[in-house]
Amino acid sequence: MATAVRTRATHQSKKTKSEHFGMAEWLKSQVKWLRIYSVWLVLTVILGTTYLFGDKLFSVFDHPITTITVQGQFSHLDRQSLEQSLTPWLESTFFNADLIQIKTLVEQNAWVKRAQITRVWPGQLVIDVEEQIPVANWGTAAYLNPHAEVFQPNEVSWAAERSMLQGPSDSSSLERQDILSHMYATQKWLAIRGFSLEHLSLNERGTWRLGLVNGPEIELGASPFEARLARAVRTYTVLAPEAQIKVASIDTRYPNGVAVAWKDIALAAGQDPRL
């Protein structure tokens, strides 16, 4: 009899626990749906308010653009001129200013590598500009940047720290990179020996030619040309100073020597000694 009572009590206890567990799960589901309903209600209120009063809210926050600021470290770019070119955008407002169009306009300036534009409420546009860095002159009318990309400002100047590079008219990016790499290596090699590179060129036939600052032209032939350049420099440096100034060019395209062309002979023939 006692055993039967205990069995009935145990069964009732399990039943009570099961009912409590079921009630807890039901409450959790109700809370979950209550949260979903609350989010839906908030979104509905927001969307409804925006629909009814959107134009008024938009006008409250959409202020006229009053300031356009150009930021960056500039050595060549005319900041004032660039800002003046953007003055028509002062007629726009904070939200309707077309940032893509403004970015395109800014990057049309040859000295601008890239631009990033940020809205600053209530009425400012901030333009962060990365300036192009000219590491070499490309021909007589353009520059190369460190990535061997050609850019062409309205005015191209000469500087002692920049060599002039030339390549085939249809030079690819890889070919320009190769020419730039040869320039860096040749500049370093010459500097150790007290010389400076004035220009370096690669023609359509794949042959190289360089000119020394206050020195002769050197015909180098195909790459690699380091050994032939060393031979030319050795030949030039053993000459007396009064003889060095008369050297027009040194042709290293011979297996066992060089050919030296003299300015006096070139002038007597009616030729430009630098050609």
Count up the domains in the chain and report the number.
3
Last residue of a domain, one of 131, 150, 173: 131
Tell whether 79 and 28 lie within a shared domain.
Answer: no
Tell whether 229 and 172 lie within a shared domain.
Answer: yes
Q: How many Å apart are CA 226 and CA 248, to the nearest integer?
A: 20
Tell whether 218 and 249 lie within a shared domain.
Answer: yes
Tell whether 101 and 27 lie within a shared domain.
Answer: no
CATH number, domain of 264, equals 3.40.50.11690
Is position 46 within any domain?
A: yes
Range of lowest pLDDT (124-133, 152-161, 188-197): 152-161
pLDDT higher for 233 or 34? 233
Last residue of a domain, one of 89, 107, 131: 131
Residues 200 and 183: beta-carbon distance below 8 Å: yes
Which range scores top for mean pLDDT: 41-50, 203-212, 254-263? 203-212
The average pLDDT across 80-91 equals 92
Tell whether 201 and 167 lie within a shared domain.
Answer: yes
Is position 275 within any domain?
A: no
Tell whether 231 and 186 lie within a shared domain.
Answer: yes
User: Mean of the per-residue pLDDT values for the chain?
Assistant: 85
Tell whether 124 and 154 lie within a shared domain.
Answer: no
pLDDT of residue 62: 84
Tell whether 186 and 160 lie within a shared domain.
Answer: yes
Tell me how far CA of residue 117 lies from CA of 11, 76, 126, in angstroms.
73, 20, 6
Tell whether 250 and 158 lie within a shared domain.
Answer: yes
Residue listed under structure tokens 């011979």: 254
* pLDDT at 148 exceeding the cut of 90: yes
Is position 274 within any domain?
A: no
* pLDDT at 34 exceeding the cut of 80: no
Q: Which domain holds residue 11?
A: 1-60
Residue 84 C-beta-side C-alpha neighbours within 13 Å: 5
CATH number, domain of 80, equals 3.10.20.310
pLDDT of residue 267: 46
Is position 273 within any domain?
A: no
> 86 is written with which tokens?
């953007």
Is position 85 within any domain?
A: yes
* pLDDT at 86 exceeding the cut of 50: yes
Q: Which candidate, 149, 114, 122, places its Cα nearest to that of 64?
A: 122
Q: How many Å apart are CA 205 and CA 152, to the nearest integer?
A: 26
Last residue of a domain, one of 60, 75, 93: 60
